[in-house]
Amino acid sequence: MPCPYFEPLNVAAHPHYANARLPLIDEYEGVCHAGTEPLRAPSEMRFRGCNHGYSKECCKRFPTDELRSSFRYDIAGRSEIALSLICIEEQDYLPLRWRSITYVVASERLEPALEDQCAHAQALAFCRSYLAHFDKPGRRG
């Protein structure tokens, strides 16, 4: 359930907690889009706030009037060519709205593309991490 303002860019070279269970599977470095200007996500907030979400009470940049608390991603199905993904926007630990997305493996593309830059980057990061950790030869979902 990463922060809705977090745009993951790459897997963290030095994660805060190796092998921690994280919403995007891997810990990511990235950019915070809360506030007036995008800012590299501060190292001290990266694990707890950016990658975990529910940052409203712990992050000074998180807008006080924001309804969304976090995004959640899950694999609903898979084939050789695509992952079926569910993206849920949460508000105070409850679903606010959801949508189905397809991740096309060969082109690393989302269909339909997500308009929200951070949600789009998070969905891509989640799918890439999922495939890196759980895509075993001969395995079908």
- pLDDT of res. 17: 82
- pLDDT of res. 58: 78
Q: Where are the domains of the chain?
A: 6-134
**Could you read off the pLDDT of 43-73 as tens digits, one per residue?**
888 888 888 877 677 788 888 877 777 788 9
Weakly modelled stretches of the chain, pLDDT under 50: 139-141
- pLDDT of res. 141: 46
**Are the beta carbons of 73 and 114 closer than 8 angstroms?**
no
Selection from 29, 30, 34, 25 nearest residue 5 by Cα: 34
- pLDDT of res. 61: 83
